[in-house]
Structure 1
Amino acid sequence: MNYSRPLSIPSGGWSQNLSSLKPKSIVHRLTHFVRWALIENWQRSWVLLLWFLAMACLFSWKFKQYKHKAAFQVMGYCLTTAKGAAETLKLNMALILLPVCRNMLTVLRSTRARFFIPFDDNINFHKTIAFAIAVGIILHVGNHMICDFPRLVNSSPEKFALIASDFHDKKPTYKELVGGVEGVTGISMLILMAFAFTLASKLFRKNQLKLPSPFNRLTGFNAFWFSHHLFGLVYILLIIHGSFLFLVHKWTHKTTWMYISVPILIYAAERSLRSGRSEHYSAKIIKVSNLPGDVFSIIMSKPNGFKYRSGQYLFLQCPSISPFEWHPFSVTSSPGDDYLSVHIRTVGDWTKELKEVLTDDNGSACTIGRAKFRKLGEVNSKGLPKLLLDGPYGAPAQDYRNYDVLLLVGLGIGATPFISILRDLLNNNRTLEDQTDSNTETSISGDSLLSLASSKMASTTEKKKSRRAKSANFYWVTREPGSFEWFKGVMNEVAEMDHKGQIEMHNYLTSVYEEGDARSTLITMVQALTHAKHGVDILSGTRV
């Protein structure tokens, strides 16, 4: 069943009087928030609550531990606060690596853990931990530099005698405290992390801050990417810093390495796997098409052993453009296809440069710059640059087979994962039809009963192994009429092959005039007449 929404139907009235739905009193607002947290976001709530409790317990435990030490008589609550914050820093420096271990999360996404842990919020949790680290640094470094170091330096001989053995019976100066191993490593980590955190902010990462040359190199994805790798040095300094602590002498009490060793090993294995797999998954470009709306599609050969599910995404790297940049894109082909396809919208420097390298204005392979790529040895026989793949990685849309009825809503280029799902559903329908035809032919042959029983058993087993959605409703909302060219072939193919009406497609174009406008009325009339006569929509050029 194919359906196009009349262009003149207004949507402005739908949003009227929504303000009356908001709770007025404080009690109602609090009740609404509790309901939102417990019912709609219970997964996020319990993870965050557990994380807060862990930090609170560690802070309180270390706070009380140092409150009963002799050093408390000299440095007071400045010391206990700094040490409590340091304990939360150890935990968060260990946890912050786990949300970016994509391969581990992809594996866990296929287990029952997905019912309790919101894996889709891994980057948000990563940013939340980073904010907690920033707060911990302020408490830890601030209390050391401003409070307990001055109190130690200016302490009376009687009080200093309580902890003199920790400093070899010699009262240190402020310069000695800051210039020692603990001070140098701590200040170095502070500088590196402040630099990395700043360049990771939205203003710098998305190039929203315009700086004069040469400071403009500090903005954009490259600056964010390279600065984030400074954390490798930060972890080395953290281990050294945790091995030369004041007031702690037994190695069993120096627990920094205990916190971060396992996450570092997991992250190192993750990066090693990604690096080795990307070299193995080198894709050959089959076709490049230039599409309206600053979009281009790439059809690549599927590397051996590359298995994925519809709805998942992969990372692409073009070594000729940048040997370090990896960018994620949803796969628009289905697992049953013998090729890989992605649709890319040019929204940044890297995607714009990739489009210039791969396509010209006519949508064919570009010849500009091929001599440069040949010198680098990064081209195939057609003169196109080599592309490296990394993935696939899990995404929310990959669980579509767990549901009988699918509601797929895509906005603009955000519809790419759903195109893969539609392709997969279409391929499944073809497979079922082929199996039905095969079963019919087999039943006519001599051994009809035995063959038909065997084919039915095989079909039943396959259905148990792979659940298939019974129906799907695809809503695509786009702003530009030219956007319909992106997936025109898929839509026409679904319209022709879906004889049972299992897939409904709905196109919405938002850049139209309001109801009552003569232009909108005229377009609607022509649209209805053309679709009724020829079965083709005048705006999208498809049967939808």
Structure 2
Amino acid sequence: MYIFYDSFIFYKRERRFYYLRQMLGLGLCISRGTATVLNLCCALVLLPLCKKLNQLLYRLLSKLWPGLFFFWLERAKSFHMTVAITLLLFAVIHSMSHFVNLWNFSRNYDEQRADINLARYKNESPFLLLMSMAGLTGVMLLTIAICMGLTSLRVVRRRVYNAFWYTHQLYMPFMVFLMIHPLSGVLKEEVLSEHRTSLFSSQVTSWSNGSAPHITKFVPIKSKTWIWMAVPLSCFLVDLLWRIFTRNLARVQLLNASQLPGRTLSINVSCPHDTFSCRKGQYVLLQCLDVSLLEWHPFTIVKLPTINQRDFEVWIRVKGDWTEALEKLILEKGANNVRMLIDGPFSSPMEGVSRSDVALCVAAGVGITPFVAILHDMLINPRSTLPGRVHLLWIVRQEQELKWLADLTHKVISQLRHANRPDRLHIEFYVTSTNNNDPNTTYDKDKNNIAHVVMINEKGVLTHILNKNDKNMADDEKATLLTPNRKRIDYVAKDKKDDYTNKKGYDIAKEYPLVGCRVRRGRPHWDRVFGYWVHLYPEKNLNLYCCGPKKLVKLLRNKCKIVSNETKNKFTFIHEAFS
């Protein structure tokens, strides 16, 4: 707003724009003020997209001032969105003011000073004036900006993500049109000498009547867009070329692919080169050449490469056309025959977990991926000092999904106990769904509701009956009663075993007792959770790292603000999301 006001006042009071201002009125001041804001927005909107340069900054600043850099990483998406919304708003205002200027160019044609005119004659159609280079490029810029803005809406982005992705690939034509747009010289300023400038105050009346004492000379207003865009656009182009040349050479091989519960793929990927290294919490961009030659998708590394084992692991939730095509391709061709390129790794705000004395971590579903590498590190280095203590809450829909981490969590807790560091990890699992069936299969209530169960002891005596509503169980009941005694015992034993194994919580508790005792039903009671943290760490500044759906992020962000205001603790909310 300050930049807009400063430019507005400059064009309203500056002597050299007197005749242009007389012709166009406030439309000149508004269009030039918004143009300055647009130059700034177009420059700033590129900064969060420079992934390689951000990675370089991370290596330079992580030791000097890590808090500032991670604040920038966590706010990069919000910063990009804020600048983009500002850009779109001022682009609409800028376009409207220029449409008014075209009308005034036609209506206020200056016959005495022909150089200042855009129109060829008085009352020329404004639509004909729009056919100039400035007009056409302006329309293209506005169209691209509106398309990007509309497809960025959450409603559109969630349903038609490809539309959002492909419209954002128009940023290169947008930058080209942006540099060409102000070069047409439509708006002109008067060439002033020092003598005429000093006499302006005494002669303004005669000039306003059209009787200027000297012949006026006009030149196009010099474009300053390149000044605003020089450094950011250079950084962006360098970053883009750097990524293109490195990722096109970073061809990797899928070593193994396995199916996790909840239709999630666990993929082991070979390192692209011997010097490839990454940190806990970082992510990579993957491109499958057999699926799409344009699309790159981000995935957090859940298992880091080591000196002895030169591969890393990512988890991919099958949701969307790209992941479905990848899953189908792996099933048809096999993991070893799938071609992929890798770009990265890139810094993430989740890297702060590994540096924290106390890290509060909340994840939902596949959002657990940024924290899996921390568990692997605890397993390998149980006595390491950082992170000091980790509180991890994982919310899942189906209890089957707990198998992703059951084995790893069991080993980590056991290892920490042997290392005399049992208080280093405090982990809880929350299962929100009451349906214990496999999420990969469909659930039919009518078929699974029990109608009538007859329990028979070893002597074949009826012990008790439970009322149910499914007639299909009548056949099972009849088969049980008409079968010889020994077979009836086997049948009932088999039913009991099947019923036992279908309850996934008991199965996990039996196989992983250290995990089963940490499973809770329903959603976390956040007042109690935050109250526990406040009681455990009084008057401390705590970081809450979250990766999950939008509703959870919004709830926890507001909760951090409320608790920080009501207690002596200060909660800093740190969030990561790719979409």
Query: What's the CA shift string for 1:317-371, capped at 9, x where partnerless?
Result: 101000111111111003546420011111211111111222xxxxxxx2x2x3x
Query: 1:145-184 maps to which residues of 2 (within 5 A)?
Result: 145=99, 147-155=100-108, 160-161=110-111, 163-167=113-117, 171=121, 173=124, 174-184=126-136
Task: Look up the equivalent residue of 2:50 and give its one-letter code.
Answer: C
Closer, same or farther: CA 252–427 of 1 in aligned 2, 3 Å: farther
Counterpart of 2:227?
258
Closer, same or farther: CA 538–200 of 1 in aligned 2, 3 Å: closer
Q: Is the 8 A contact 2:5 2:33 kept in 1?
A: no
Counterpart of 1:135?
89
- Quick one: which of 364, 368, 374 aligns to 1:415? 368
Task: Measure the CA separation in 2 of the matches of 1:280 and 1:54.
Answer: 44
Counterpart of 2:340?
387
Counterpart of 1:38?
none
Query: 1:10-29 maps to which residues of 2 (within 5 A)?
Result: none
Query: What's the CA shift string for 1:412-437, capped at 9, x where partnerless?
Result: 2111110111112222238x7xxxxx
Q: Is the 8 A contact 1:99 1:126 kept in 2?
A: yes
Closer, same or farther: CA 167–126 of 1 in aligned 2, 3 Å: same
- Cα deviation for residue 255 of structure 1 reads 0.8
- Quick one: which of 415, 420, 428 aligns to 1:497? 415
- Quick one: which of 290, 303, 327 aligns to 1:320? 290
Closer, same or farther: CA 253–300 of 1 in aligned 2, 3 Å: same
Task: Look up the equivalent residue of 1:395 and give its one-letter code.
Answer: S
Counterpart of 2:392?
474
Query: 1:92-107 maps to which residues of 2 (within 5 A)?
Result: 92-107=41-56
Q: Any idea what SS the aligned residue of 1:128 has?
A: helix
Task: Look up the equivalent residue of 1:144 and give its one-letter code.
Answer: H
Q: Is the 8 A contact 2:266 2:313 kept in 1?
A: yes
Closer, same or farther: CA 133–536 of 1 in aligned 2, 3 Å: closer
- Cα deviation for residue 197 of structure 1 reads 3.0
1:351 aligns with 2:303: no
Q: Is the 8 A contact 1:204 1:220 kept in 2?
A: yes
- Quick one: which of 351, 356, 361 aligns to 1:398? 351
- Quick one: which of 65, 69, 72 aligns to 1:118? 72
Closer, same or farther: CA 149–495 of 1 in aligned 2, 3 Å: same
- Cα deviation for residue 529 of structure 1 reads 12
Q: Is the 8 A contact 1:120 1:396 kept in 2?
A: yes
Counterpart of 1:29?
none
Q: Is the 8 A contact 2:362 2:392 kept in 1?
A: yes
Q: Is the 8 A contact 1:314 1:390 kept in 2?
A: yes
- Quick one: which of 253, 256, 259 aligns to 1:287? 256
**Which deviates further from its counterpart, 335-344 or 312-321?**
335-344
Task: Measure the CA separation in 1 of the matches of 2:19 and 2:512.
Answer: 90
- Cα deviation for residue 388 of structure 1 reads 1.2
Counterpart of 2:429?
507
Task: Look up the equivalent residue of 1:220 and give its one-letter code.
Answer: Y
Q: Any idea what SS the aligned residue of 1:343 has?
A: strand
Closer, same or farther: CA 415–175 of 1 in aligned 2, 3 Å: closer
- Cα deviation for residue 192 of structure 1 reads 3.0
Q: Is the 8 A contact 2:427 2:518 kept in 1?
A: no
Q: Any idea what SS the aligned residue of 1:484 has?
A: helix
Task: Measure the CA separation in 1 of the matches of 2:365 and 2:293.
Answer: 30
Task: Look up the equivalent residue of 1:154 and give its one-letter code.
Answer: R
Q: Any idea what SS the aligned residue of 1:494 has?
A: helix
Q: Any idea what SS the aligned residue of 2:74 has?
A: helix
Name the larger-Rg structure: 2
Query: What's the CA shift string for 1:231-277, capped at 9, x where partnerless?
Result: 21122122221111323376883111222222222111111122122
Counterpart of 1:484?
402
Closer, same or farther: CA 163–539 of 1 in aligned 2, 3 Å: farther
Counterpart of 1:246?
186
- Cα deviation for residue 65 of structure 1 reads 4.2
- Cα deviation for residue 76 of structure 1 reads 0.9
1:303 aligns with 2:272: yes
Gap runs ≥5 in structure 2: 190-218, 436-499, 520-579
1:70 aligns with 2:22: no
Larger RCO of the pair (alpha carbons < 8 Å, separation 6+): 1
- Cα deviation for residue 133 of structure 1 reads 1.6
Closer, same or farther: CA 490–93 of 1 in aligned 2, 3 Å: same
1:269 aligns with 2:238: yes
Task: Measure the CA separation in 2 of the matches of 1:200 and 1:531.
Answer: 44
Closer, same or farther: CA 489–59 of 1 in aligned 2, 3 Å: farther
Closer, same or farther: CA 126–168 of 1 in aligned 2, 3 Å: closer
Task: Measure the CA separation in 2 of the matches of 1:392 and 1:529.
Answer: 37
Closer, same or farther: CA 488–81 of 1 in aligned 2, 3 Å: same
Task: Measure the CA separation in 1 of the matches of 2:322 and 2:32.
Answer: 44
Counterpart of 1:220?
161
Task: Measure the CA separation in 1 of the matches of 2:146 and 2:54.
Answer: 28
Task: Look up the equivalent residue of 2:380 and give its one-letter code.
Answer: N
Q: Is the 8 A contact 1:196 1:228 kept in 2?
A: yes
Q: Is the 8 A contact 2:119 2:129 kept in 1?
A: no
Task: Look up the equivalent residue of 1:91 and give its one-letter code.
Answer: L
Query: 1:531-542 maps to which residues of 2 (within 5 A)?
Result: 535=513
Q: Is the 8 A contact 1:295 1:345 kept in 2?
A: yes
Q: Is the 8 A contact 1:100 1:123 kept in 2?
A: no
Task: Look up the equivalent residue of 2:176 and give its one-letter code.
Answer: I
Gap runs ≥5 in structure 1: 1-51, 208-218, 359-365, 371-378, 433-466, 514-521
Task: Measure the CA separation in 2 of the matches of 1:77 and 1:497.
Answer: 73
Q: Is the 8 A contact 2:359 2:389 kept in 1?
A: yes
* % identity of equivalent residues: 25
Q: Any idea what SS the aligned residue of 2:130 has?
A: helix
Q: Any idea what SS the aligned residue of 1:511 has?
A: coil
Q: Any idea what SS the aligned residue of 1:290 has?
A: strand
Closer, same or farther: CA 245–251 of 1 in aligned 2, 3 Å: closer
- Quick one: which of 299, 302, 312 aligns to 1:332? 302
1:231 aligns with 2:156: no
Query: What's the CA shift string for 1:35-88, capped at 9, x where partnerless?
Result: xxxxxxxxxxxxxxxxx5445544544555489522111211122111111111
Root-mean-square deviation over aligned CA pairs: 3.3
Task: Look up the equivalent residue of 1:89 and give its one-letter code.
Answer: L
Closer, same or farther: CA 383–422 of 1 in aligned 2, 3 Å: closer
Task: Look up the equivalent residue of 1:231 and give its one-letter code.
Answer: Y
**Which deviates further from its counterpart, 188-197 or 344-353?**
188-197
- Cα deviation for residue 493 of structure 1 reads 2.1
1:206 aligns with 2:123: no
Q: Any idea what SS the aligned residue of 2:188 has?
A: coil
TM-score in terms of structure 1 length: 0.68
Q: Any idea what SS the aligned residue of 1:320 has?
A: coil
Closer, same or farther: CA 113–289 of 1 in aligned 2, 3 Å: closer
Q: Is the 8 A contact 1:485 1:540 kept in 2?
A: no
**Which deviates further from its counterpart, 134-143 or 501-510?**
501-510
Counterpart of 2:473?
none
Counterpart of 2:570?
none
Task: Measure the CA separation in 2 of the matches of 1:129 and 1:530.
Answer: 48
TM-score in terms of structure 2 length: 0.64
Task: Measure the CA separation in 2 of the matches of 1:198 and 1:105.
Answer: 28
Q: Any idea what SS the aligned residue of 2:299 has?
A: strand
Task: Measure the CA separation in 1 of the matches of 2:89 and 2:508.
Answer: 63
Q: Is the 8 A contact 1:62 1:87 kept in 2?
A: no
Counterpart of 2:209?
none
Task: Measure the CA separation in 1 of the matches of 2:249 and 2:429.
Answer: 39
Task: Look up the equivalent residue of 2:39 and give its one-letter code.
Answer: K
